[in-house]
Amino acid sequence: MKWARAAAGTLLFAWMSVAGAQAKIELSAGIHRIEAEVAADFDTRARGLMHRQTMSAQAGMLFVFPETGRHCMWMRNTRLPLSVAFVDGGGRILNIEDMEPLTETSHCATAPARYALEMNKGWFAQRGIRAGAMLRGLERAPAPR
Determine the Cα–Cα distance for residues 135 and 28; give it in Å rounded to an integer: 6
Phi/psi zone of residue 104: left (φ > 0), alpha (ψ -120 to 50 degrees), beta?
A: alpha
Q: What is the pTM of this model?
A: 0.85
Determine the Cα–Cα distance for residues 88 and 105; give it in Å rounded to an integer: 22
Q: Are 85 and 62 in contact (CB under 8 A)?
A: no
pLDDT, residue 76, reads: 95
Indicate the SS3 state at residue 86: strand
What is the end-to-end Cα distance of the chain in Å, rounded? 22
Query: Is 22-140 a domain of CATH 3.30.559.10?
Result: no
pLDDT, tens only, 16-63 = 233 344 799 999 999 999 999 999 999 999 999 999 999 999 999 999
Decide the pairing of beta strands 32-39 and 59-69. parallel
Determine the Cα–Cα distance for residues 123 and 4; give it in Å rounded to an integer: 47
pLDDT, residue 30, reads: 94
Domain positions in the chain are 22-140
pLDDT, residue 1, reads: 27
pLDDT, tens only, 64-123 = 999 999 999 999 999 999 999 999 999 999 999 999 999 999 999 999 999 999 999 999
